[in-house]
Every structure is written in structure tokens, then in C-alpha cells.
Amino acid sequence: MLLEKEKSFLALIDVQARLLPGVHEHERLVKNCNWLVRLAHLMDVPAIGSEQYPDGLGHTEEGLRELVGEANIHGKTCFSSIDDPGFYQSLKAYDREQVVVCGMESQACVMQSAMRMHEEGLEVFVVADAISARDPFDTEISLRRMEQAGIRLVTREMVGFEWLRRSDASQFKAFSKEFLQ
């Protein structure tokens, strides 16, 4: 099954600035999440985000927060973003059935969000090169567990090419110049 931009939304999970220094390859994570949010904008795919206990752990990395938009980021205390009423209402308002997931931490908020979204009947695509955790082994095992549960694993470029579908798509030229470098 391929991603379809008209059926998709992007979920940015808990990429909070205060936690980033302890996350494996955090600069790459932020870069790849930023890439995906910008791609979502290019393709007119909605993006929503979550923050784990923002009063204590702070907010989403500033660049990502600006791209997603403060109004589209929901604070939560449960690990699964979909279990937060605000996030869930935003998700339902878009009435889309495919979710592309990126963020941190792989073994907690990313995995639980993806598994719960899958349980709710969404087609879940986790971007393997846009998730991370403090320990890379946690990411490896989380990816295996999610795949065993029926969640699809993709890369950021797979997302781009699937949303585009064709080299004569109106966004292809911008995609090639801005995203394939």
C-alpha cells in the first residue's frame, strides 16, 4: 500500500528542545523531521505535533514549532499522542486515514502513538530515519515491534516520492531542488 497525500497527515511526536541533547543523533533527527514538515507543506498535507508534559519538559524545538505552528501542537501527559483529547480532536478534524509518524523517543511516545493509531484503524507509516531515542537499540527494537504489529516502515524519501507519484507533478521540480540534495 502506498501513501496518498490526500489521505495523509504528518504527526510530529515530542521533539522537545530540552530533551534533544540526550537523544542519539539528535541533529539528524531534527533535520529529518524538519524535512518532513516542509515536505508536508509543499504537498498540502496537514501536520500536527505533540509535546510530552511541556510544563516540565519544555516545548518543541523552535524551528519545528514554527513550521508546524503553535496552534497545531498539543501538550500531553500520556505517552501515546492519540490518547490526548486535543491531539485526537485535531486528528479527527482532518478526516484522513493515513498517518506519517516522526519524532522521539522511539521506545515510548513514538511506539505507543503508532500502536494506538493502528489500533484506532489508521494506516500508520513510521519514518525510520526520522525517529530516535537515547539508546539506538531502543529504536531498533521499537521498529521491529511496530513492524510485527502491522505498522509500515518508510524513509523520508519514500514519503516524498509516494506523495508525488509522478515526475510531472506540479511539486516535483521544487521537491528535486529543495529536498533531494
Distances (CA, A) of 152 to 53, 142, 146: 28, 12, 8
Three cell numbers written together for 84: 490526548
The pLDDT value given to residue 180:
93
Q: How confident is the model at residue 181 (pLDDT cuts 50, 70, 90)?
A: confident
The pLDDT value given to residue 124:
98
The pTM for the full model equals 0.97
Three cell numbers written together for 79: 505517552
Determine contact, residues 5/97, Cβ cutoff 8 Å: no
* Whether pLDDT at 2 is above 80: yes
Given CATH 3.40.50.300, say whether it is the number of domain 5-179: no
Determine contact, residues 151/115, Cβ cutoff 8 Å: yes
* Whether pLDDT at 115 is above 90: yes
Interval 95-115 mean pLDDT:
98
Q: What is the pLDDT of residues 21-60, one digit of tens each?
A: 999 999 999 999 999 999 999 999 999 999 999 999 999 9
Please give the single-letter amino acid code of residue 47. A
Q: What is the pLDDT of residues 63-87, one digit of tens each?
A: 999 999 999 999 999 999 999 999 9
Look at residue 110 and give its three-state secondary structure. Answer: helix
Q: What are the residue boundaries of the structural domains of the chain, listed by start?
A: 5-179
Q: Please name every residue paired with 60 in a beta bridge, in sequence order, or none if there are none.
A: 16
